Amino acid sequence: MKRTSILFVVFLTTFSLFSQTEFELIELPYAIDALEPVISKSTIELHHGKHLKGYVNNLNKLVKGTDLQDKPLYFIVKNSQGAIFNNAGQTLNHNLYFTQFQKPSENNTLDTNTSLYKEIIKTWGSFDKFKEEYNKAATGLFGSGWVWLSKNENGSLVITQQANGSNPVVNGLTPLLGIDVWEHAYYLDYQNRRADHINAFWKIINWKKINERYVE
């Protein structure tokens, strides 16, 4: 083999080694205790540092050497089944979840001038009615799963219940605001009182971020 050919093979091998990107555990955009008392530091340590880290590590192991390796996370969730789907779905769910919060505020609410607020009023009549419907879906979801406020392609809004690790992208929706009702999300702080956790959840929503997801 000519020297130039050898160099080319070495280049390709090196390039392919370094081009294999792996999913990484997202960084929290706030201090680990910033959401207290709504979500405790202990819950965040466990939920982000153990549960999400586990999903990300599993996903990397499962997609290695498959056609889904190096594909975007949304693509994998929409085009997989079984263990890959469960771990990709949970990685996507938690990436969106942990980046939608800010420190608690009693008067936390969505700016009435935003496109998202106007669409919520158009859909549910009032912001309180929207929250009521979201809470109902979250308290009523049997077992483990998620409730999401999502956007349709035409900009209209919908609240869906997703079982286990599923995400609204499988139904062609864009997820905006999600609540994790797996017990690992609230049991340390609220034990079996899921409804109390759901009521407190509204104090930590970063509505600016949720509106950004809506207008993107």
Residues that bind Fe ion (CB under 5 A): 180, 182, 185
Residue facing Fe ion at closest CB distance: 180
Q: How far is the CB of 40 from Fe ion (least distance, A)?
A: 14
Q: How far is the CB of 8 from Fe ion (least distance, A)?
A: 46
- 109 alpha carbon, distance to own chain's centre: 20
Of 124 and 182, CB closest to Fe ion: 182
Of 120 and 204, CB closest to Fe ion: 204
Angle between helix 127-140 and 194-201 (nearest 10): 150
Cβ-proximal residues to 168 (8 Å cutoff; 6+ apart), any chain: 148, 150, 160, 162, 174, 175
With beta carbons less than 8 A apart as the criterion, state whether 178 and 148 touch.
yes
Of 62 and 185, CB closest to Fe ion: 185
Q: How far is the CB of 179 from Fe ion (least distance, A)?
A: 10
Among 207, 210, 144, 196, smallest CA distance to 38 is for 196
Q: How far is the CB of 70 from Fe ion (least distance, A)?
A: 26
Of 133 and 183, CB closest to Fe ion: 183
